[in-house]
Structure 1
Amino acid sequence: MKHYLLVPILFLCVSILPAQNLDLSEFEWKNRVLLTVSNSNSSSLASEQMTVFNSNAKGFKERKLILFEIQAERYRKITFNDTSSIKTDWRYSNKPYLKYKSKKANFKVLLIGLDGGIKNTKTNKIFTQADLFTIIDGMPMRKRELRKKQ
């Protein structure tokens, strides 16, 4: 009989825990953020996009890029060092997906600038590395970063 009481109590405890939300404000003025948003973990566009993004970790690090892979019920953060990407564990929440998903597309990529504003969006298309780097390298703050390096 005691076991029958334990299940509803456990369910109640889990259901009142706050859902994990994705707060991008902590990256403002420090990092550019890329969001890939797909409605499933088997999206071929999402897989192809991740392959493109993982192909040049050094270029991503130089441009201060952080990537969030968002799926319908989960998300994770991916950072880059000089040679590879570092993936955090999946966090389970549908809030980021509901906030950033496209109403008309199954896959979307958003580029968010240092100021926190959305700079570019692609729906049902992938960002090539060349397109992404051209957009970023044309931004005023990136141009300033490049001048400071010289």
Structure 2
Amino acid sequence: MATPSDSVHANLSQHEWEHRLLVVFAPAADHENLARQFEMWEGHADGFAERKLRIYTVTEGDAGQFRKQPGGDVRPLTRGSAQELRDRFDVATDPFAVILVGLDGTEKRRETVPLSIDDLFRTIDAMPMRRAEMQQDGGG
């Protein structure tokens, strides 16, 4: 099976110091927790942009997607990217997991249930780099 021409490779190092990442794992694309997760984040594009967030989703088999924000355009991942993400974060094919990766490329938070927008933003806003960004953006 050929890789679609609009596919993206899950090269997380390209995001270092540019974007925070959410990597969401689910056993299937129609998994209840996956649907709940995106419902919780829907309508918060401004908050995602302000916090420099990008989203990778990995589901059954080699399936995976990339998007800049909830509800945004979806691009498929290249073949093998899903497995690379599973290997990097040590996530098997059956559990649900949400992993927050900081600007430095390290894992900052891991949940096995959908992560609320308030908890997500509170976690990020408490990070030293984010606090510096807020201070700079506020002119302080």
TM-score for the superposition, normalised by structure 1: 0.76
Q: Secondary structure at the match of 2:38?
A: helix
Q: What pairs with 1:68-83 in structure 2 (closer than 5 Å)? A: 68-72=56-60, 73-80=62-69
> In structure 1, the residue corresponding to 2:86 is in which secondary structure?
helix
Q: Which AA in structure 1 matches 2:53?
A: L
- The count of residues paired between Structure 1 and Structure 2 equals 129
Q: Which one of 39, 43, 48 corresponds to residue 27 of structure 2?
A: 39
1:134 is matched with which residue? 122
The equivalent position to 1:95 in structure 2, one of 70, 83, 104, is 83
The share of aligned pairs that are identical, in percent, is 26
Does the 8 A contact of 2:24 with 2:56 survive in 1? yes
- 2:103 is the alignment partner of 1:117: no
Counterpart-to-counterpart distance in 2, 1:38 and 1:104:
7
Q: Distance in 2 between matches of 1:69 and 1:51?
A: 14
Following superposition, the deviation at residue 132 of structure 1 comes to 0.3
- Taking structure 2 as the reference length, what is the TM-score of the superposition? 0.81
Say yes or no: does 1:52 pair with 2:29: no
Corresponding residue SS for 1:114: coil
**Displacement of 1:89 after TM fit?**
2.7
Q: Give the number of the structure whose residues are more often helix, by fraction.
A: 1
Runs ≥4 residues deviating over 4 A: none
For the Cα contact (< 8 Å) 1:75–1:96, is it kept in 2? Answer: no
Compare CA radii of gyration and give the structure with the larger one. Answer: 1
Instruction: Determine the structure 1 residue equivalent to 2:131.
Output: 143
The structure whose residues are more often strand, as a share, is 1
After superposition, the Cα gap between the structure-2 partners of 1:105 and 1:139, relative to the gap in structure 1 and judged at 3 Å, is: farther
> 3-state SS of the aligned residue for 1:87?
coil
Q: CA shift at 1:103, angstroms?
A: 4.1
Cα separation, 1, equivalents of 2:41 and 2:130: 19
Q: Aligned equivalents of 1:43 and 1:115: distance in 2? A: 30
1:107-131 deviation line (CA, Å, top 9, x unaligned) = 00000000000000001x1100000
C-alpha RMSD of the superposition: 2.2
- What is the alpha-carbon distance in structure 1 between the residues aligned to residue 85 and residue 105 of structure 2? 18
Distance in 1, matches of 2:134 and 2:76, equals 34
